[in-house]
Amino acid sequence: MQQATQLSPLTTRELHIFFSAHFLYGLGVSILQVFVSVYLFEQGIALAWVLGYFAILNLSRFVFVPFTGILASRWGAKKTLIVGYILQALAFMAVPFVKQVDGVFVLAAALYGAGFALYVSYHIHFSKITQQLKRGKPMGYINVLSSATSIIGPAIGGYFISQAGFLGTAVWTFVLIVGAALVLLRTPEASHIRPFQWRSMPSMLRRIWPDLVGNGFFNFQFITAGAVWPLFIFLIIPSYFSLGLIQAASAFAGMIAFHASGTLTDKFRNKALLLWSSVVYALVAGARVLAYNIPTVSAANIASSASGSFQLIPWSTLFYKHMDEEHRAEYCVLFEMGAALISAIGIGALAALAALLPMHQALVVAIVVSGAAGLAINVVRK
């Protein structure tokens, strides 16, 4: 059993620097990420292939996740995370050069999938520098920071894209993410360097398979929603800047919900909070498809952001609790391979369906299915 390093949350120098790096990374990602599916659509790429981009991303993630465990064990989780940052920065720089479904399209998706896979080491590193038993508050704190970047980033990104274009905005994203990597270099490596234990994984898989299944549907839910919901909004309000402002407003509601959820998670049972929040999110996600103008889209976006925030922290707290009980690197590899595989299959199926349906119908189906899929996360262990 791996014991978490007992550091006092929000007071150590390492945690403050880690949070600073996370803020820069989150800001860089949020400036551009929400607009990727819209950009691909504007290049004349069909919805089926827009979804295909995210399916390829997750297939690449599935392939590269095992390397995360090996590198985190041999180099340390922090160093592996820095490599993941760099790969994601390069992937965002590749997106503006995608004009059709070709090698550049596949490269951009695969590169981001590889960076996303290495980002798994974030979980290993974070689990080492936070308390084992009372993780809700630091989780709430870091998610408030993430929400803050989600408020600032889309508004900045929407404005920059409308003024400087997608390539100019991608440069800012690149600079911020690389800056996060440089900041993270200032912290010591918290991981214990050891051989990666392949032989322990079959028996571990038999114990933790419910976590893998739950994580698969959790990822499918949010990756699919992140791909299709901005495009749904853009078809109603065809403006990058307006889309960015709508996303920023909903992120503010999510930030408030994160703070409340972090406190509740330390006081109440995680499984109970996870159940009711996933039910609420599924209902809200289904209702989003009724939005038809700026007020209804804004209201739907705020409601889904807040309910999603209440879902995220109890889920993440359970994840870190279970990771503390196992070898971290091996657990994360299995956990994320389940997420990537189920997401790739689910999104691939939606892509095939999108090729057969009119675009609006395909978007509605994808939004409803992604929300309902979140109910399956409750299979996770207590």
The more confidently predicted of residues 249 and 356 is 356
HEC readout, the chain: CCCCCCCCCCCCHHHHHHHHHHHHHHHHHHHHHHHHHHHHHHCCCCHHHHHHHHHHHHHHHHHHHHHHHHHHHHCCHHHHHHHHHHHHHHHHHHHHHCCCCCHHHHHHHHHHHHHHHHCCHHHHHHHHCCCCCCCHHHHHHHHHHHHHHHHHHHHHHHHHHHHHHHHHHHHHHHHHHHHHHHHHCCCCCCCCCCCCCHHHHHHHHHHHHHHHHHHHHHHHHHHHHHHHHHHHHHHHCCCHHHHHHHHHHHHHHHHHHHHHHHHHHHHCCHHHHHHHHHHHHHHHHHHHHHCCCHHHHHHHHHHHHHHHHHHHHHHHHHHHHHHHCCCHHHHHHHHHHHHHHHHHHHHHHHHHHHCCCCHHHHHHHHHHHHHHHHHHHHHCCC
CA atoms 243, 259, 308, 56: torsion sign: positive
Band of the pLDDT at 262, cuts 50, 70, 90? low
Predicted confidence (pLDDT) per residue in 190-222, tens digit? 666 677 788 888 888 888 899 999 989 999 998
Q: Indicate the range of 61-75, 91-105, 163-177, 259-273 predicted with least confidence.
A: 259-273
Burial class (CB in 10 A: 0-12, 13-18, 19+), 29: buried
CA 252, distance to chain mean position in Å, is 17
Residue ranges of domains in the chain: 13-187+200-379
Please give the mean pLDDT across all residues of the chain.
Answer: 86
The more confidently predicted of residues 346 and 135 is 346
The more confidently predicted of residues 244 and 186 is 244
Predicted confidence (pLDDT) per residue in 63-119, tens digit? 999 888 788 778 888 888 899 999 999 999 999 999 999 999 999 999 999 998 887
As a whole-number percent, the residues of the chain with pLDDT over 90 amount to 50
Average pLDDT rounded to a whole number, residues 315-325:
78
φ, ψ of residue 293 to 5 degrees: the values are -150, 180
Average pLDDT rounded to a whole number, residues 359-371:
94
CATH number for the domain formed by residue range(s) 13-187+200-379 = 1.20.1250.20
Instruction: Please tell me the predicted confidence (pLDDT) of residue 4.
Output: 38
